[in-house]
Amino acid sequence: MQGSILFSCILFFALSLFSVNLWKIVRNIRLGKSKNRFDQPLKRTIILLKVAFGQTKLFHRPVSGILHALVYWGFLVITIGTLEMMVDGVFGFERLFGALGSFYNLVTASGDIMAVLVLVSSFIFMFRRLFLKIKRFSGKEMKKSSSIDAIVALVIIVFLMISLLTMNIGYIGLHPENYFGSFPVSNLLFPYFSTWDLYLLHTISWWTHIMLVLIFLNELPYSKHFHVVMSIPNVYFSNIESLGKMENMPSVTKEVKLMMNPNTDQYAIPATDTPTLESFGAKDVTDLNWVQLMNAYSCTECGRCTSECPANQTGRLLSPRKIMMDTRQRLKEVGKNIDKYGKGYSDNKSLLNDYISKEELWACTTCNACTQACPLNIDPLSIIVDLRRYLVMEESAAPKELNMMFTNVENNGAPWQFPAADRLKWKDE
Ligand code: SF4
Ligand code: SF4
CA 371 to ligand 1 center in whole angstroms: 8
309 lines ligand 1 (CB under 6 A): yes
> What is the spatial distance between Cα 173 and Cα 203, in angstroms, rounded to a whole number?
12
DSSP string, 254-314: HHHHHHH-TT--TTPPPTTPPPP----S-SSGGGSBHHHHHHHHH-----HHHHH-HHHHT
Report, as an integer, the average pLDDT of 306-333.
Answer: 96
CA 239 to ligand 1 center in whole angstroms: 16
Q: By CB neighbour count within 10 A (0-12 exposed, 13-18 middle, 19+ buried), where does 337 fall?
A: middle
CA 216 to ligand 2 center in whole angstroms: 22
CB distance 231 to 52 below 8 Å: yes
> What is the spatial distance between Cα 110 and Cα 115, in angstroms, rounded to a whole number?
8
Report, as an integer, the average pLDDT of 43-48.
Answer: 97
pLDDT band at 117 (very low <50, low <70, confident <90, very high): very high
- Whether residue 106 is predicted with pLDDT greater than 70 in this model: the reply is yes
Torsion sign, CA atoms 351, 356, 358, 364: negative
Give the list of residues 6+ apart from residue 367 with CB closer than 8 angstroms, or none.
Answer: 310
Q: By CB neighbour count within 10 A (0-12 exposed, 13-18 middle, 19+ buried), where does 56 fall?
A: middle
Backbone dihedral region for residue 342 (phi beyond 0: left; psi -120 to 50: alpha; all else: beta): left
To the nearest whole percent, how much of the chain has pLDDT over 90?
69
294 versus 144: the higher-pLDDT residue is 294
The predicted pLDDT at position 267 comes to 54
Q: Ligand nearest 246 Cα, by number? A: 1
The predicted pLDDT at position 118 comes to 95
Q: CA 32: distance to chain centroid?
A: 16
The amino acid sitting at 276 is T
Q: Which of 130-134, 235-239, 273-277 is predicted with the least confidence, judged by mean pLDDT? A: 273-277
> What is the spatial distance between Cα 288 and Cα 340, in angstroms, rounded to a whole number?
22
87 versus 412: the higher-pLDDT residue is 87
- Closest alpha carbon to 73 in 100, 53, 90: 53
The predicted pLDDT at position 153 comes to 92
Q: Which of 51-55, 94-98, 254-258, 383-387 is predicted with the least confidence, judged by mean pLDDT? A: 254-258
Report, as an integer, the average pLDDT of 184-203.
Answer: 95
381 lines ligand 2 (CB under 6 A): no
Q: CA 136: distance to chain centroid?
A: 17
DSSP string, 47-83: HIIIIIIS-GGGGGSHHHHHHHHHHHHHHHHHHHHHH
322 lines ligand 2 (CB under 6 A): no
The predicted pLDDT at position 274 comes to 53
Give the number of the atom of ligand 2 that is nearest the alpha carbon of residue 301: 5
The 3-class SS string of 121-181 reads HHHHHHHHHHHCCCHHHCCCCCCHHHHHHHHHHHHHHHHHHHHHHHHHHHHHHHCCCCCCC
> What is the spatial distance between Cα 112 and Cα 116, in angstroms, rounded to a whole number?
7
Q: Give residue-wise pLDDT tens across range 338-350.
A: 999 998 889 999 9
365 lines ligand 1 (CB under 6 A): yes
Residue 356 three-state SS: strand
Q: Give residue-wise pLDDT tens across range 325-339.
A: 999 999 999 999 999
Q: By CB neighbour count within 10 A (0-12 exposed, 13-18 middle, 19+ buried), where does 262 fall?
A: exposed
Report, as an integer, the average pLDDT of 317-332.
Answer: 97
Report, as an integer, the average pLDDT of 39-57.
Answer: 96
Q: Which of 79-88, 196-205, 214-223, 395-404 is predicted with the least confidence, judged by mean pLDDT? A: 395-404
- Whether residue 322 is predicted with pLDDT greater than 70 in this model: the reply is yes
CA 24 to ligand 2 center in whole angstroms: 23
Report, as an integer, the average pLDDT of 403-429.
Answer: 82
Report, as an integer, the average pLDDT of 240-265.
Answer: 80
| pTM, rounded to two decimals | 0.89
To the nearest whole percent, how much of the chain has pLDDT over 70?
96
Residue 15 three-state SS: helix
CB distance 239 to 292 below 8 Å: no
Q: Give residue-wise pLDDT tens across range 206-246.
A: 999 999 999 999 999 988 889 988 999 999 999 999 998 88
For ligand 2, atom 3: residue with the closest CA? 374
Report, as an integer, the average pLDDT of 75-90.
Answer: 93
